[in-house]
Structure 1
Amino acid sequence: MSAVWLQVGQCGNQIGQEWWQILTNNAPKTDVDRYPYFSRDGRINAICVDSEPKVIRKLQKQVKNGFFRDSNLIMGRKGRGNNWACGYSLVCSDTEKSLLHMTMESFRKEVERRDCYSGTVLLHSLCGGTGSGLGARLCEEIRDTYPAGHILSVAVAPHGTGETPLQHYNSLLCLAWLQRYTDGVLLFQNDEVMRRVAAEKKALTMSGAQPAVSMTAMNTHIASCLAGLFYPINMLKTESGVSIGIEPWEIIRSVCPMSTMKFLHTSQICRRGTAFWDSVASSVAQTVPRVSSDGRLHHSMSVLAVSRSSQDSSFLLSQDSVLMKLKQSYRCVPWNPFPIHCWTDSQNILDPSFHSHSLTVCANHSSAADLLRTVTQRARAMYESRAYLHWYQRYGCEDEDFQMAFDTLSSVVEDYSTLGE
């Protein structure tokens, strides 16, 4: 039941590089846990796509090391101009009309290499033309071609201001497509990720100055969260101890019980030394958004906590108090009789060479509505003034597409706003 990993655009491929580096460097070479993510020949189950060659060329070095298939590195010659419609329609250049076709052909071959195809994990951004536009188109194509497989999106939202004037349109349209075609969305916001990384660096340096945060550090943090959630768990393995890679799909079943609400918030704390799990849980709780911009208390429909430590028995001793603290901090809805799920593992893949422990928490949390509401409001203000619309219309994006996107996200925001009632 292995997955196909699909990295789209600059952001998706950079996060993918960090994710695969964790697996290839930290996991033992003979560890059977690697093989839900690797084919029988040792190649990674990943397809890397970008409309520009810059990032993909860096990955070509990994082909020589035996990790990636050369045929799974797909690149164009010209970017998508930070334009969702350009990335979605794929008509920017006559020489690049086959970008979607090449990706789906490589995807078909990768699916056929699986003993049992279970789904796709898509890494991409909401901002760039390739990540948002081509990413949305691939979700649609994969859903139509392989309707029985899951689709889990790992989507990165841009900074609130300053990345591109089209970022609100791109985010609006991409989020609407994700709501329609995916089963779950692990949503990371650049502003929040930057604050977390800065706080971690500040705690390590014990300095009062605000540390600088690089894009690489932010990508590493996101990849670390993915490893905390996706790396095989003892309790989900077969009796023979072999992992069949069901972690991404069990996440969907655990925290996405309702198809109308599928946007997930992820937090993680990793510590070295003696495991004080109550303290770790308190640190995770501090990262949880409490109140929306309009003063509503945030709530969670469901929560998954994943603990990893060589002292796995220490977590079991503290499990009840930790889960109660998380239930209160995430304000789990009272109508869900089993709002918290817990996975434990005796290996911390995030820091295997030291005596360490980590807690990764994934929640279907109403704070997603804050981002969706902001994107909708800013995109609508631009839309009503007809700003930049001709850039989208030239690639076939009509007013109906925008109206559908506005209606879709408004409905999701309304559902999350009434989550605690």
Structure 2
Amino acid sequence: MSAVWLQIGQCGNQIGQEWCQIITSANKKEADMYPFYSRDGKLSVICVDSEQKVVRKLQKQIRSGALRESNLILGKQGRGNNWAYGYHDIGLESEHSLFKRTMESLRKEAERRDCYCGTVLFHSLSGGTGSGLSSRLCEAIREEYPTGHILSVSVVPHQAGESPLQHYNSLLCLSWLQRYADGILLFPNDEVLKQASVLQRRDAPEASSQVSSSAMNAYIASCLAGLLHPLKLFTTQSGISMGMEPWELLRSVCPMPALKFLHTAQASIRGTVFWDSLASSVVQPVPRQSLAGKPHHSTALLAVARSPQEDAFLLNSSSVLKKLKQAYRCVPWNPCPVTFWTDSASPVTPSCHSHSLTVCANHSSAADLLQRVAQQTRTMYASRAFLHWYWRHGCEDGDFEQGLETLCSVVEDYHHLGD
């Protein structure tokens, strides 16, 4: 029941490198390797970028035998922070195979699995490769493997701006994900920066106040490890992991197919653990109200507790889950809105006496993000700003209009959750 892990663009590969580091350092037993490795002992990871500088850093893992060199899909020039350039690839005859090479590698990796169940994408919403190529790949994977799941790990650009085209790129990519993915784990850079800063002050108070992009990527990878790393719950009697965590996550937190944008938060501690206190830390950054002042709600949430003292969590689970249910305002019409998993091992710090609580919720705060992207795009689109950069690479008015319609429909659905 295994996945293929697809890292796209600079951001996707940087997060993927942190994720692969966790996998390769935490999985020492053959039984734990199954969800991530093919039978020849190489990771089922495909790294794609239109430039070479980030992906080339993976050569060390290739030399060690962890990665398959043919799964490094590289271009010769970037995509200009332009969704249309990444999606259509028009005018790049020498690199027109970037998309085809990726799909061919995906096909081979899927065939190497005992049972291919889906793909996990790592990418950004702002870059040309991360937004445009990811959209095209997501669409193609859905068409090629209609019964497989698609889980997207999507990094949202800073509100202050990373590129003048980021609103267009985000709108188009989000609308494609809404159509073709089963679930979207959103990691807004502004929120990740705050959480990484908190961790830095806790672990190294004497360090510089500036938070590195590496620390931000490490936080995202830690959240992913909390949710997706193998648990005893999904192992066979012989102790082999079936790799069902990504798909069980989707089953737990996406009860309505049209609502699939997911908010993730994590808190961790070393030494003695007080689960109520850890739950309070998790819910602290959760947005409480919409831009219009309306309370946010969740259709469902999943809590994953990892601790050598998992029995202590089970003893306190009722109070912890009650606190989470109240903070996330689970909708009354879902009879079982909260799911929890436990495990005794922490993949991020396996040798330490550490405890973590990771929560993934289908939360209506996603509507604020979608609404903001739609409003900013509509303003730029009305003034026809930068549109010539999209027309020259194959985009049409209908792409933007359909994207706006898609996002506004999702926003409307999220706004009615608590009714």
- Report the TM-score when normalising by structure 2: 0.98
The one-letter code of the counterpart of 2:8 is: V
Q: Deviations over 1:58-100 (max 9, x none)?
A: 1122110111100000000010000000000012422111101
Structure 1: give runs of 5+ residues left out of the alignment. none
Q: Report the equivalent of 2:119.
A: 120
Instruction: Indicate the SS of the match to 1:198.
Output: helix
Q: How many residues align?
A: 419
The one-letter code of the counterpart of 1:5 is: W
CA–CA distance in 2 between the matches of 1:64 and 1:114?
Answer: 23
Tell me by how many angstroms 1:240 deviates: 2.3
* Segment of structure 1 superposing worse, 69-78 or 349-358: 349-358
Q: Report the equivalent of 1:396.
A: 394
* Segment of structure 1 superposing worse, 88-97 or 399-408: 88-97
CA–CA distance in 2 between the matches of 1:50 and 1:205?
Answer: 33
5 Å matches for 1:312-391? 312-391=310-389
Instruction: Indicate the SS of the match to 1:306.
Output: strand
Q: Report the equivalent of 2:170.
A: 171
Instruction: Indicate the SS of the match to 1:257.
Output: coil
Q: Report the equivalent of 2:86.
A: 87
Q: Report the equivalent of 1:6.
A: 6
CA–CA distance in 1 between the matches of 2:291 and 2:68?
Answer: 46
* Segment of structure 1 superposing worse, 343-352 or 180-189: 343-352
5 Å matches for 1:175-194? 175-194=174-193
Q: Report the equivalent of 1:52.
A: 51
Q: Report the equivalent of 2:216.
A: 218
* Segment of structure 1 superposing worse, 58-67 or 137-146: 58-67
Contact 1:84–1:129 at 8 Å: present in 2 too?
yes
5 Å matches for 1:265-304? 265-304=263-302
Q: Report the equivalent of 2:16.
A: 16
Q: Deviations over 1:29-77 (max 9, x none)?
A: 2251222111111100011000001111111221101111000000000
Q: Report the equivalent of 2:133.
A: 134
The one-letter code of the counterpart of 1:247 is: E
Contact 2:178–2:260 at 8 Å: present in 1 too?
yes
CA–CA distance in 1 between the matches of 2:204 and 2:145?
Answer: 48
CA–CA distance in 2 between the matches of 1:100 and 1:210?
Answer: 41
The one-letter code of the counterpart of 2:4 is: V
CA–CA distance in 2 between the matches of 1:97 and 1:205?
Answer: 46
Say if 1:381 and 1:72 are closer, same or farther in 2 by CA, change over 3 A: same
Instruction: Indicate the SS of the match to 1:54.
Output: coil
Contact 2:90–2:394 at 8 Å: present in 1 too?
no
Contact 1:140–1:181 at 8 Å: present in 2 too?
yes
CA–CA distance in 2 between the matches of 1:117 and 1:158?
Answer: 32
Contact 2:34–2:240 at 8 Å: present in 1 too?
no
CA–CA distance in 1 between the matches of 2:246 and 2:266?
Answer: 17
Identity of aligned residues (%): 64
* Segment of structure 1 superposing worse, 231-240 or 390-399: 231-240
CA–CA distance in 1 between the matches of 2:161 and 2:328?
Answer: 31
Contact 1:277–1:315 at 8 Å: present in 2 too?
yes
Q: CA RMSD in A?
A: 1.1
CA–CA distance in 2 between the matches of 1:241 and 1:149?
Answer: 25
1:25 equivalent to 2:29? Answer no
* Segment of structure 1 superposing worse, 193-202 or 40-49: 193-202
The one-letter code of the counterpart of 2:395 is: C
CA–CA distance in 2 between the matches of 1:235 and 1:76?
Answer: 41
CA–CA distance in 2 between the matches of 1:276 and 1:251?
Answer: 25
The one-letter code of the counterpart of 2:349 is: D
* Segment of structure 1 superposing worse, 408-417 or 344-353: 344-353
Tell me by how many angstroms 1:206 deviates: 5.1
CA–CA distance in 2 between the matches of 1:393 and 1:259?
Answer: 32
Q: Report the equivalent of 1:110.
A: 109
The one-letter code of the counterpart of 2:9 is: G
CA–CA distance in 1 between the matches of 2:36 and 2:298?
Answer: 30
The one-letter code of the counterpart of 2:164 is: P
Contact 2:6–2:121 at 8 Å: present in 1 too?
yes
